[in-house]
Amino acid sequence: MASFLVPSWVRLAARIFIVVTVIFLLAPLVVVVGVSFSESQFIAFPPDGLSLRWYQTVLSDTVYTSAFWTSIRIALLVTVSATLLGGAAAIALHRRMLPGSAFLATFFLSPLVLPTIIYAIGMLMFWSAVFGPVSFVTLWIGHTVIAIPYVVRTTLAVLSESDPFLEEAARTMGAGRIQRLLYVVIPQGLPGLGAGAFFAFNISFDEAVLSLFLRKPGLTTLPVQIYGQLEFSPDPSVAAVSTIMIALTVVLILVIDRMLGLQRFAST
Amino acid sequence: MKYRIASAAVAVSAVLSGTAFAQDKTLTINSFGGAYEQAHRTCVIDPFEKETGAKVQIVTAYSADAFAQLRAQKDAPQFDIINFSGGQEIVGAAEGLLSPIDASKLSNAGDLYDFAKANLAKGEGPAYSIAAIGLVYDSVKSPKAPTGWKDLLDPALSEHLVLTDISNGYGMLGFLMLNQSEGGTLDNIQPGLDAVSKLLEAGAIVVSTSPEIQQEFAQNDAWIAPYASDYAYTLRKAGLTAKFVQGSEGTPASFITSNLVANRPNQELALKFIDISISKAAQECFAEALRYSPTNSKAELSGEVAADVAYGEEGVKGLIRFDPAKIEANRKAWVEAWNKTIAQ
Amino acid sequence: MSDRTENLLLAAPGLFLLALAFFLPIGQMLALSVEGPEGPTLAHFSRFLGDGFYLGVLWRTVRLSLIITVICALIGFPLAYIMARVGPRARLWLIILVILPLMTSVVVRTFGWVVLLSRNGLIPELLRDMGLAGRTFALMQTETAIVIGMVHVLLPFMALSILGVISRIDTRLEEAGRTMGCSFLQTIRTIVLPLSLPGVVAGSLLVFTLSASSFVTPNLLGGPRLQVLAASIYKSVTQTLDWPFAAAQAVILFAGILLVLIPYVRLTARDNG
């Protein structure tokens, strides 16, 4: 938007607002990063002394790295499955041609409403009775179920803002179903699908309750590992793991930006 | 073609169920994470693997979570052995989730104190460690060293007192002991509840997990907390000036039991594992590493270690075991009454 | 193929998965809520609904969730708007800053707040130094702490939900509004806000349901003395092992959330066709 249209007091207020919000968002992370360099055993801030011992502990311990890869694997699979299933469902819901669309929209939201613990126990009972021991697949399915609502919500929100006549126009001009979907509807919903995919990844990557109960030996995700460490012997190693995660996220985003031009994507 | 479908079906079901083919020499157990799991490995798992050639897989799960998992998975249990520290074996045995144990199959059972093997035939596994519940206090900051449970009510300490929610097993035992020292019984917990509301009014705080206790001692000026002896040692190892003292009115004992899960194929091997858990060597090792009191009467401890635990015939006799069956029967009602008492 | 078939085909895989892998297991679990020792019973419900303590827990859950949702929307909307209108470089950094908290485990982030809010933590110390608080003042184990922690957890969801929609609004509409004599705030109120409402609605739905059903953060920051319903359910499942009661509480939570959400969705759906 042309800059001359924004009064200067708005610019000032926006700056202050952003600074305060960023401080709020970063405050606990600053604590986490600070604690990770602490010399002492405690989670205290400001930290006592300065050392890298917790990084050494974490990086030399295979439990964290293997838990990390388990989490990444599940989260990537969930991102794909939840975005495909949820995105497709959102497009169908958006067109409002299915009987009871409103009811269906609520249906797709329902996994959000119940505390995960109830679903975790229910899923574990169900799976054990029908398929036997739980596995990687169980967790994948479980995470997909709780991630789908996010994709449906964000995609629906974006689609509802897009021009409904575009698809009609494409139809009149002779575009087939697949073409309309690929070249009109999906691009229209892209920001929503993108946000949904990101949420799906994040939900799975940070999910602790399902992962805790649908567990078997060798299937420990990073949040479960962290939760366990905090529960039995809390020390700054969990802060070190989290700091590494924070750093990886920043680097990853910057790399993606370099390669794909995230700025362009983010501004579409 | 048929063959191909069949093999695909087998492959699919193997993927779905995650069953490994060479399962006969593998045991799945739960352990409690962190330093506990390390000690578990050194004291029990490594010797067991060396002796039998079998492999042990650990799932890190606390008693409450492990029990929920066991109950939900009753159609296809994944644990061979499940260890509990909060009395869950009583419910598990009553619901048929655990297998009765024939004491004659455990070569070390004879060395256990009687209380540690009382209900093997019912399915409650043997106790292999005891956590003694007493008073954990900061020996530098606290103006006086507490000697008994009555000292918890000292107004000078209230603002620096940390109570543990009774949803936590140790918290439950500490509360019952406070109740008893106030004149209550297992049939009447009102005196304990009254004492708790008085303490909360005077500034005490309630937490529900161990790391919060550490946090309170390390950062927030906590002086005293009724909790377990092993945790005082954990705090001390972490560099705090924490000490443990048994209250003069008595020391409630929390048993850590090793239980045989029902409907699992490898019970012989699992029994061997339990047998090693209750052996003299394993228990000495646990006491040395984490300051848990042994349940094996033959265990010999050095003076330094012995000072931190309930040791020997005499020491063990001083332990109070609140009737676990009664605790289980009342747990729901007590937790509810407790929640209402502490609610703000 | 008719349009209806096409849409059915699109929705089917998701419907199928949810029906099999969500409603079946959850139904089995919730059925426990009417299970008694002597056949079906409503005893678990009457135990909850007839007890002031549990009703208080329910009320706290709903009340805090509403407060959290409103605060998230109040911060999230301007945040998303600014993100949508700044230059690409600044936007990238703002997105990183909003996403960063999400990439840290909720448990760890909440522990960060525990450190900041407890008696000797940075924030109470600061307030004490300024003479605003007493000696034993702590923010930990207060409803304020729950709200702070939950807003921190859920703000990114709100901001990103709104951002997706705002970035689709044609900026020429705003320019037109401005050149036709609207003040900046009028433009926001009459053009940007109505157009971004679907995002605000989507974000609010997410935030409200998530805060009503989350357990880790309220439990750690509120402590056992300020229970919310999800924490109470968690305790019934793992500690008192009373699964029928846990199921009954979940049904009540579900009903409570629907009672709030359905009128909200109706209302907002009418506005947005």
Inspect the interface and report whether the beta carbons of B206 and C241 lie closer than 8 Å.
Answer: no
pLDDT per residue over B6-19, tens digit each?
A: 455 545 554 444 44
CATH number for the domain formed by residue range(s) B132-252+324-342: 3.40.190.10
- Joined together, the tokens standing for residue C80 give 């998303």
Q: Do domains B2-130+253-320 and B132-252+324-342 have the same CATH topology?
A: yes
Report the alpha-carbon distance of residue B177 to residue B251 in Å, rounded: 8
B206: closest chain C residue by CA:
C224
pLDDT of residue B100: 96
Range of the domain at C202: 41-271
**Global pTM value:** 0.90
CA A256, distance to chain mean position in Å, is: 17
Distance from CA of A222 to the nearest CA of B (A): 13
Inspect the interface and report whether the beta carbons of C175 and A110 lie closer than 8 Å.
Answer: no
Inspect the interface and report whether the beta carbons of A218 and B36 lie closer than 8 Å.
Answer: no
C30 occurs within a structural domain: no
> In angstroms, how far is the first alpha carbon of chain A from the final one?
14
pLDDT of residue C265: 73
pLDDT of residue A260: 60
Inspect the interface and report whether the beta carbons of A161 and C195 lie closer than 8 Å.
Answer: yes
CATH number of the CATH domain containing A58: 1.10.3720.10
B188 SS3 class: strand
Inspect the interface and report whether the beta carbons of C174 and A111 lie closer than 8 Å.
Answer: no
Question: Is the per-residue pLDDT at B104 higher than 80?
Answer: yes
pLDDT of residue B22: 44
pLDDT per residue over C106-158, tens digit each?
A: 888 998 998 899 888 888 888 888 888 877 788 889 999 999 999 999 999 89
C4 occurs within a structural domain: no
The ipTM, to two decimals, is 0.90
pLDDT per residue over A73-122, tens digit each?
A: 999 999 999 999 999 999 998 887 677 777 787 788 888 888 899 999 99
- C51: which residues sit within 8 A by CB, 6+ positions away? none
Residue B24 binned pLDDT confidence (cut-offs 50, 70, 90): low
pLDDT per residue over C199-240, tens digit each?
A: 898 889 889 999 999 988 999 899 999 999 999 999 999 989
User: Which residues from A are below 8 Å from B238, CB to CB?
Assistant: 40-42, 235
What is the identity of the amino acid at C12? Answer: A
Range of the domain at A55: 3-267
Distance from CA of B258 to the nearest CA of C (A): 19
Which other chains touch chain A, taking contact as 3+ CB pairs less than 8 Å apart? B, C
C157 SS3 class: helix
- Joined together, the tokens standing for residue B189 give 């917990």
| Count of domains for chain C | 1
User: Which residues from B are below 8 Å from A124, CB to CB?
Assistant: 69, 72-73
Residues of chain A with pLDDT below 70 are 1-5, 97, 260-268
Chain B residues with at least one Cβ partner in C under 8 Å: 64-65, 67-68, 71, 88, 91, 159, 165, 167, 200, 203, 205-208, 212, 215-216, 219-221, 331-332, 335-336, 339-340, 342-344
Find the Cα–Cα–Cα–Cα dihedral C167, C173, C176, C178, rounded to 10°.
Answer: -50
Residue B73 binned pLDDT confidence (cut-offs 50, 70, 90): very high
Among the listed residues B272, B277, B227, the one whose alpha carbon sits nearest the alpha carbon of residue B257: B277
Based on its alpha-carbon atoms, the radius of gyration of chain B, rounded to whole angstroms, reads: 22
B334: left (phi over 0), alpha (psi -120 to 50) or beta: alpha
Sequence spans of domains, chain B: 2-130+253-320, 132-252+324-342
pLDDT of residue B18: 44
Distance from CA of B185 to the nearest CA of A (A): 31
Mean pLDDT of B75-97: 94
CB-CB contact of A145 with C17 (8 Å): yes
pLDDT of residue B15: 47
Report the alpha-carbon distance of residue B63 to residue B69 in Å, rounded: 10
Nearest-by-Cβ selection for B17 from A43, A131, A235: A131
Mutation target vs B (from C238, C242, C243, C249; most B CBs, 10 A cutoff): C238
C7 occurs within a structural domain: no
pLDDT per residue over B203-234, tens digit each?
A: 999 998 888 898 899 888 899 999 998 889 98
- Joined together, the tokens standing for residue A46 give 């400001």
C86: closest chain A residue by CA:
A1
B61: closest chain C residue by CA:
C238
> In angstroms, how far is the first alpha carbon of chain B from the final one?
69
CA distances from B163 to B153, B203, B292, B325 (A): 12, 11, 21, 24
Neighbours of A16 (CB within 10 A): 10
Distance from CA of A97 to the nearest CA of C (A): 6
For chains B and C, CB pairs below 8 A equal 69
User: Which residues from B are below 8 Å from A220, CB to CB?
Assistant: 59-60
Mutation target vs C (from A25, A77, A213; most C CBs, 10 A cutoff): A25
Half-sphere exposure of C97 (CA within 13 A, CB side): 20
Inspect the interface and report whether the beta carbons of C224 and B91 lie closer than 8 Å.
Answer: no
Inspect the interface and report whether the beta carbons of B220 and C120 lie closer than 8 Å.
Answer: yes
Neighbours of B333 (CB within 10 A): 11
Cis previous bond, A46, omega within 30: yes
- A180: which residues sit within 8 A by CB, 6+ positions away? A167, A170, A171
DSSP state of A6: S
Mean pLDDT of C252-256: 91
A135: closest chain B residue by CA:
B18
Share of residues in chain C with pLDDT > 90 (%): 49
Report the alpha-carbon distance of residue C189 to residue C179 in Å, rounded: 16
The mean of the pLDDT values for chain C is: 89
Q: Burial level of B157, CB count in 10 A (0-12/13-18/19+)?
A: buried
For chains A and C, CB pairs below 8 A equal 300
Tell me if chain B has a CB within 8 Å of the CB of C109.
no
B197: closest chain C residue by CA:
C225
CATH number for the domain formed by residue range(s) B2-130+253-320: 3.40.190.10
Inspect the interface and report whether the beta carbons of B340 and C226 lie closer than 8 Å.
Answer: no
Inspect the interface and report whether the beta carbons of A133 and B62 lie closer than 8 Å.
Answer: no
CATH number of the CATH domain containing C100: 1.10.3720.10
C247 occurs within a structural domain: yes
The DSSP bridge partners found for residue B206 are B163
Inspect the interface and report whether the beta carbons of A115 and C18 lie closer than 8 Å.
Answer: no
C151 occurs within a structural domain: yes
pLDDT per residue over B109-151, tens digit each?
A: 999 999 999 999 999 999 999 999 999 999 999 998 999 999 9
Inspect the interface and report whether the beta carbons of B165 and C224 lie closer than 8 Å.
Answer: yes
